[in-house]
Chains A and B, each alone.
Chain A
Amino acid sequence: MNRRVVVTGLGVVAPNGVGLQKFEASIKAGTSGIRYFKQLEEMNFSCCIGGIPDVSEELKLKYLTPLQLRNFTSSGILYACMAGIDAWHDAGFSYAEDEAHWDSGCIFGTGISGVEKMREATYKLDSGKVKRLGSNSVAQTMSSGVSAYLGGIIGLGNQVTTNSSACATGTEAILLAYDRVISGKAEKMIAGSSSEHGPFIWGGFDAMKVMTYKHNKSPTKGSRPMSASASGFVPGSGSGALVLESLDSAMTRNAPIYAEILGGAVNSGGQRNGGTMTAANNVAVQRCIKDAMENADILADEIDLINGHLTATIKDPTEIQNWVTALGREGKNFPYIHSLKSMIGHCLSASGAIESLAAVLGLKNDFIFPNINCENLHPDISALIDERKIPRTVIYSKDIDIVAKASFGFGDVNACVIFKKYNNG
């Protein structure tokens, strides 16, 4: 019998909710996690708003030891550990004792680790004080810091690695972990991604003028995916983690199942045909969606809901056009579509994981979270799809069976994963 892969654990650290319960309540209510940051204004940012998870010093100590937290400034690694550990416990697992969990690993992505640490180190190096870097500079700045910390805390003994594909990172991590489980190389994989916060991560995007500067006095209104008045994305941060497990393993231990992963696809547009470092090759995006459906063995008509990439830039209508073309569905026949970024901003390398987690939660608990800040739908979008396909308030429905989640990243890279409600069979 063919192997199947299900999701049995979730953990989330998001700007509008740390922990599964708070996060679920927030996304049902349409609660924004976007705030104004004085520091950004003082540093001359055009966009002075963003999303940062609310994590107290006390909460950190539930995940990392005082020694680990000594001189620790890598928020991305912290978020990854919190989300990953929560997901692992949520799935009903515990830390390994002496022997590592040989059948369990993690693929936990990030765009970059330890920017604050790197900055400290640069000042020390430039003044000839290399010795002052101490012992934890490497662990906090290596790209694989996120998976290395998490793997060590839990005691993972299978593959422990970090992937990186810009804003497609989280969705790609899920598909890489899915491959690992479906091929039988692992029974359980923690899949997720993380993104740090702050000026040293967000500055480059501010310089590119892709973030909105129009909502510094109205932060919660700033992230406006699909809206006619969308004016650029709002930066976010945090982490999402999903425990992927073979259905056999989950059934053997009677584990509650959130959803099934039917498959998906990753590709690149090769920065050809209109694709560049920063813009997508539309043919590649459409191929990725079609390949995902083929891999998942579903028809376009079976998709009930799209959890879009939809960042609130001028590219949103283009994304909708790509979905319309790839699915061969438009107007009233188009599935529901929404963007979590309306509430938490664009969490960059963490976005794919947090947004996938939201998709899985919705499937499990029969709701479609609202797409806020879209009172005035962009005319190029309303020309393509029925306005009612974009939920502005939460919809409770048991009829959502299949969700397609896609993420697109710098470097012209794409990832699309297909989730299905699990109905005990």
Chain B
Amino acid sequence: MDKTMDKNTIIEGLKEIAKPYIQDQEAFDNLTEDTNFVDDLKINSANLVDIILDVEDKFDIVIEDKEMEDMMTVRSTIAIINKKLDNK
């Protein structure tokens, strides 16, 4: 059975998680799959670990260190979340 989630549903979830940390409202309002958390949303890189924790809680998955390093854009994050969901 396909356990992956619809892309837009994940994006909405990610936006909710990222909202408290963002420092560029315009980039946030115009968020796309290409949006980079640090470069575009100007999130303090120290807060990325908090975002990962929130993603783990929200999607009930566990993210490894190696995967964390790849989760810099919305697109790569969606891919990792769906890979994790699919392997559950």
Q: Which residues of A contact B (CB under 8 A)?
A: 66-67, 70-71, 131-132, 134-136
Q: From B46, which residue of chain A is reached at the shortest CB distance?
A: A135
> Which stretch, B6-14, B31-39, B47-55, touches the partner chain A?
B47-55
Q: How far is the CB of B16 from chain A (nearest CB, A)?
A: 14
Chain B: number of interface residues, binned into ranges = under 10
Report yes or no: A67 in contact with B49, Cβ–Cβ below 8 A. Answer: no
Q: Which residues of B contact A (CB under 8 A)?
A: 20-21, 46-50, 53
Query: Could you give 11 example pairs across A and B, Cβ below 8 Å?
Result: A66-B20, A67-B20, A67-B21, A70-B20, A71-B50, A131-B53, A134-B50, A135-B46, A135-B47, A135-B48, A135-B50
Q: Chain A contacts of B20 at CB under 8 A?
A: 66-67, 70
Q: How far is the CB of A114 from chain B (nearest CB, A)?
A: 16
Q: How far is the CB of B56 from chain A (nearest CB, A)?
A: 9
Q: How far is the CB of B28 from chain A (nearest CB, A)?
A: 14
Q: From A71, which residue of chain B is reached at the shortest CB distance?
A: B50
Q: Chain B contacts of A66 at CB under 8 A?
A: 20
Report yes or no: B21 in contact with A134, Cβ–Cβ below 8 A. Answer: no
Q: How far is the CB of B39 from chain A (nearest CB, A)?
A: 19
Q: Chain A contacts of B47 at CB under 8 A?
A: 67, 135
Q: How far is the CB of A209 from chain B (nearest CB, A)?
A: 42
For the complex, what is the distance from the CA of A351 to the CA of B20, rounded to whole Å? 35
List 11 other contacts, CB 8 Å, given A70-B50, A134-B49, A134-B53.
A66-B20, A67-B20, A67-B21, A67-B47, A70-B20, A71-B50, A135-B46, A135-B47, A135-B48, A135-B49, A135-B50
For the complex, what is the distance from the CA of A157 to the CA of B46, rounded to whole Å? 22
For the complex, what is the distance from the CA of A126 to the CA of B77, rounded to whole Å? 29
Q: How far is the CB of B55 from chain A (nearest CB, A)?
A: 12
For the complex, what is the distance from the CA of A135 to the CA of B20, rounded to whole Å? 14
Q: How far is the CB of A353 from chain B (nearest CB, A)?
A: 30
- The 9 tightest CB contacts between A and B, nearest first, are A135-B46, A134-B50, A135-B49, A135-B50, A67-B20, A135-B47, A134-B53, A70-B20, A134-B49
For the complex, what is the distance from the CA of A390 to the CA of B43, rounded to whole Å? 57
Q: Chain B contacts of A70 at CB under 8 A?
A: 20, 50
Q: From A139, which residue of chain B is reached at the shortest CB distance?
A: B46
